[in-house]
């Protein structure tokens, strides 16, 4: 058991190296698609170091994006940085999002989101041209994908090392809100609204959307909303997938969002042991409660790694704050 502190070099301007759309001249990017166990198609990007020895068995890492985002937001950055260190990496779009299949767009299904990680393992372990070692595949989830990768790893031991960054437990936040700010009666109101929306859709009405990042700032926008706005609604991280309108990015469908209330990713998290787990969070993150909870319940070996001064969204793209060296060491040590 270890709890570490990151050493961060603070930039003079307050961007801390924000570089969501980072590209590396040393890494080749290839769009890929692969099937899930349910015969739907997941879209992703594969990243491979240009001068890597492709005849040797190689370790691989699968990277999932924040909830409501797509692979071009944060996941590609992490995948590129890890590919520079010699890992074959795949960033993926969760089903119903980005380039992955699924209707309606932006629908919620935590089970299918988790399945995408297992489908990526299938793909990596069956491609001769990459020569990925089936026994050396790890997985990393950012924000909401942190809870999806834990859900996947509990029933897929082919993922040999599991890391999360700025994790959200999407089940807990749906049920209780941040810091348990939502009581049961408020939860029931959310459920009733979603159920009424199902009637609207059954009767031919339009799909409605909820949550996500504010499209516009107002005097009533919360500090958390402003934090997400600075990433998703500015040139820093804004990205609109094909066949999606900017106003709908990050917003899940109203009638499906309550599916998260039946999602308990940390139940039985201890059964992932003895596979190692690394939880990374900013010590100023509004989401730190989820990494603390996961760490408290996980089995050994495990580590909770605090990044001093970092908030939740900082670990999406602020390259001088994200502990890439820590992630590299974690996967190099455990994918052997």
Contacting residues for 87 by C-beta, under 8 A, at least 6 apart: 58, 59, 60, 61, 331, 335
- Residue 253 in domain: no
- How high is the pLDDT of residue 242? 85
Mean pLDDT score, 73-81 = 98
- Residue 235 in domain: no
- Residue 67 in domain: yes
Dihedral pair phi/psi, residue 331, rounded to 5°: -75, -35
- Residue 326 in domain: yes
Distance in angstroms (rounded) separating the CA atoms of residues 277 and 285: 20
- Residue 7 in domain: yes
Distance in angstroms (rounded) separating the CA atoms of residues 171 and 152: 14
To 10 degrees, what angle do helices 145-155 and 110-124 make? 70
- Residue 227 in domain: no
> How do residues 108-152 score in pLDDT, each as one tens digit?
999 999 999 999 999 999 988 778 999 999 999 999 999 999 999
> How do residues 169-183 score in pLDDT, each as one tens digit?
999 999 999 999 999
Contacting residues for 160 by C-beta, under 8 A, at least 6 apart: 135, 136, 137, 138, 275, 334, 335
- Residue 222 in domain: no
Query: What's the domain range around 183?
Result: 2-198+260-334
CATH number for the domain spanning 24: value is: 3.40.50.1820
- Residue 246 in domain: no
User: How many distinct structural domains can be found in the chain?
Assistant: 1
> How do residues 161-214 score in pLDDT, each as one tens digit?
999 999 999 999 999 999 999 999 999 999 999 999 999 999 999 999 999 999
């Amino acid at each position: 058991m270890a709890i570490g502190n990151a050493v961060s070099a603070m930039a003079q301007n307050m961007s801390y190296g924000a570089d969501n759309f980072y590209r590396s001249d040393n890494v080749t990017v290839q769009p890929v698609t692969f099937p899930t166990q349910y015969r739907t198609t997941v879209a992703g990007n594969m990243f491979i170091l240009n001068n890597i020895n492709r005849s040797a068995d190689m370790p691989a890492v699968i990277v999932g994006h924040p909830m409501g985002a797509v692979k071009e937001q944060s996941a590609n950055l992490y995948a590129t940085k890890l590919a520079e260190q010699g890992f074959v990496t795949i960033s993926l779009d969760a089903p119903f999002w980005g380039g992955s299949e699924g209707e309606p767009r932006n629908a919620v299904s935590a089970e299918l989101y988790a399945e995408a990680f297992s489908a990526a393992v299938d793909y990596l372990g069956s491609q001769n041209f990459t020569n990925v070692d089936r026994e050396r595949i790890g997985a990393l989830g950012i924000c909401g994908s942190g809870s999806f990768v834990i859900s996947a790893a509990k029933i897929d031991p082919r993922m040999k090392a599991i890391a999360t960054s700025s994790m959200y437990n999407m089940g807990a936040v749906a049920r209780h809100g941040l810091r348990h700010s939502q009581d049961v009666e408020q939860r029931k109101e959310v459920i009733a609204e979603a159920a009424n929306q199902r009637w609207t859709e059954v009767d031919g009405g339009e799909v409605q959307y909820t949550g996500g990042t504010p499209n516009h700032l107002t005097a009533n926008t919360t500090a958390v909303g402003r934090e997400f706005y600075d990433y998703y609604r500015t040139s820093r991280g804004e990205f609109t997938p094909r066949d999606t309108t900017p106003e709908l990015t990050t917003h899940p469908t109203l009638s499906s969002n309550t599916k998260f209330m039946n999602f308990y990713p940390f139940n039985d998290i201890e059964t992932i042991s003895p596979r190692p787990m690394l939880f990374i969070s900013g010590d100023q993150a509004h989401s730190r409660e989820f990494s603390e909870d996961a760490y408290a319940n996980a089995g050994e070996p495990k580590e909770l790694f605090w990044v001093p001064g970092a908030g939740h969204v900082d670990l999406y793209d602020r390259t001088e704050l994200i502990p890439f060296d820590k992630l590299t060491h974690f996967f190099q040590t455990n994918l052997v």
